[in-house]
Structure 1
């Protein structure tokens, strides 16, 4: 079972962590974030929309996000509501769970999907917000589902992968990942490889490629290694979603490596030591990683050669990086959105949202931001 314990991060995210099965409390030294560096801003962002929901727990790894479909956005509230907007106009609002929402929202094929810590999975009608179906899974859900090929693919916190029929909610198949006794609290969301297959990353440092229709695994491969002596030193989770780009599968892990695998040969092409709980991003044949220490690093996608490293944002609890236009963007613990030149790593601008940035997504030249304080915002280049 994936334990509900948060191990101490290298950047001093927590002042208190619970480790092992004894629930023994261990003090973790807090590391002071680097001050914001002075920059000569040449680029900036402008907010085009903001939506407010309840805040999440500051030490909870929830990564709630806006669901997007047909020009509408769907905002999941941790208190259990889902709201649909067309621009700034509210279309509908549905209270669906007294147990709150811990994962979502994702939208597609006519439905909006969210889930909660009780393991309840909900599918709502995109047009009306009415619940189309609901299912009880085996444990808490902490990452968004994937809607693909008429299926809703969900990874529960105990390592069970579920596939449900998108129309009826009928369970089509399950796939059980190996049990992990000790891990970071958090999971990577399922990722589409192609229209027929889905990739799931797990806390045992393996990735699994599964046939979406049948549930039959097509590949399993370890992509990270850790030789630490203690349980904490051996933590080697993959909590950030791997990225598929052509023949490449790029993954990061905590206290492990950034790894590039060839999907055709199923062989690791290169790996570089890098600790990250965030998903990498690929742009212009470069791989960008926000490391747990706050280092922002760029690598050549073909060779793994390090191209540059920015250390101006150390201990600022960076979000996953995203690409907007021809610029790199990363958020931090103070809600600052940093604009970075992807060719040099230089900071070239910044903007500010409210609360620690938990996730970034770039879709159709707009940046979708979610924060710990419950602020969803949409940005574009000025």
Structure 2
């Protein structure tokens, strides 16, 4: 029987390994997060919206996220509710799942899409919150869907990619990713490649381009390699969404590399060792990666040359980095939003939310933040 083992997170695996060493009398030094660096004349951010929802398990790396469309903000609650706001005014609130919700929100084309741990996919009307359709998929839904080319593209945690007609919920096609015996518990959300095709990242470090209308595969490319000796050391998942910037596709992988590919030739142009389960950010000529050990590294996009590296936030369990205005923003386990000069890597400011930051997004020149503790907030530059 072909079995697949999902690890909640790499830190859980590491903790178990260290516990085993401790039981054998081997002294293990506790890893502590770096203290916050002192700042002079620090910049900050202003919160313009906040909403508290239920928290998620510390061991489950869910990245619940806010979304916005046509000036309306949509909030998912792990307890099974979805809410819509304009400014601070709530337009509607709907309880749609007794078993809770586990994927972030995708809002587009008049729809709000959310999913559950039990594989239920729900489509709601943006204006009213009324359920338009729901379908049962084959695995837990841990990542947001993508609405693209009239399809709702969803990746279940068993490695099956589903496409449903956005209007009716009728299944259009499925695509099965290669099965791997061991992987991290998590899944990158689908990403639009162009007007018709979508990108899917996998646990075997491949990127797949699939026609959103027909399900036909258009490209598959290995983006990382591993030389680990054990099954755990060979974990090499791409759990952060790939970044598309002009002719470049950039990925980062766990225990693997940050890799840039030329989309025209479909050839890898550079690859540098780095371990990250977060989406890399691409801005200007820079590729910015928040690594699992807390280092933030910047690479030149055409050559892979390292531009700078910041190690002041070691072991602070960083979120994905995003460019927001003139600064690079990254969140940490203490709810701190760090503002970084993208040209030098210098930390120039900070703001504070509640709980470890799991997801950062920039929508309509505002910073959307979600934390494991359930603090959903929107920020703007001062």
**In which range does the TM-score fall when normalised by the shorter chain?**
over 0.9
**Runs of 5+ consecutive residues of structure 1 not aligned to the other structure:** 19-26
Q: Deviations over 1:16-53 (max 9, x none)?
A: 589xxxxxxxx997511001111113421010110111
Aligned residue for 1:124?
A: 124
User: 2: CA distance between counterparts of 1:61 and 1:2?
Assistant: 18
**Runs of 5+ consecutive residues of structure 2 not aligned to the other structure:** 19-26
Q: Cα distance 1:319–1:48, how it changes in 2: closer, same or farther (>3 A)?
A: same
Q: With the length of structure 1 as denominator, give the TM-score of the two structures.
A: 0.95
Aligned residue for 1:3?
A: 5
Aligned residue for 2:305?
A: 305
Q: Cα distance 1:17–1:370, how it changes in 2: closer, same or farther (>3 A)?
A: farther
Structure 2 counterparts to residues 314-325 of structure 1, below 5 A: 314-325=314-325
Partners of 1:252 and 1:276 within 8 A in 2: yes
Aligned residue for 2:79?
A: 79
Aligned residue for 2:45?
A: 45
CA drift at 1:14:
6.8
Partners of 2:8 and 2:61 within 8 A in 1: no
Aligned residue for 1:283?
A: 283
CA drift at 1:6:
2.8
CA drift at 1:181:
1.0
User: 1: CA distance between counterparts of 2:119 and 2:247?
Assistant: 34
Aligned residue for 2:21?
A: none
User: 2: CA distance between counterparts of 1:56 and 1:13?
Assistant: 19
CA drift at 1:282:
0.8
1:152 aligns with 2:115: no
Partners of 1:14 and 1:28 within 8 A in 2: no
Partners of 1:41 and 1:350 within 8 A in 2: no
Q: Cα distance 1:156–1:288, how it changes in 2: closer, same or farther (>3 A)?
A: same
3-state SS of 1:51 partner: strand
User: 1: CA distance between counterparts of 2:109 and 2:8?
Assistant: 35
Partners of 1:298 and 1:306 within 8 A in 2: yes
User: 1: CA distance between counterparts of 2:28 and 2:216?
Assistant: 42
User: 2: CA distance between counterparts of 1:327 and 1:37?
Assistant: 17
- Out of 40-49 and 212-221, give the one that drifted further: 40-49
Aligned residue for 1:331?
A: 331
Aligned residue for 1:141?
A: 141
What value does the CA root-mean-square deviation take over the aligned residues?
1.6
Partners of 1:44 and 1:351 within 8 A in 2: yes
Structure 2 counterparts to residues 239-250 of structure 1, below 5 A: 239-250=239-250
Q: With the length of structure 2 as denominator, give the TM-score of the two structures.
A: 0.95
Partners of 1:16 and 1:28 within 8 A in 2: no
Aligned residue for 2:94?
A: 94
Structure 2 counterparts to residues 192-211 of structure 1, below 5 A: 192-211=192-211
CA drift at 1:3:
2.7
Q: Cα distance 1:96–1:30, how it changes in 2: closer, same or farther (>3 A)?
A: farther
Partners of 1:290 and 1:319 within 8 A in 2: yes
CA drift at 1:7:
4.9
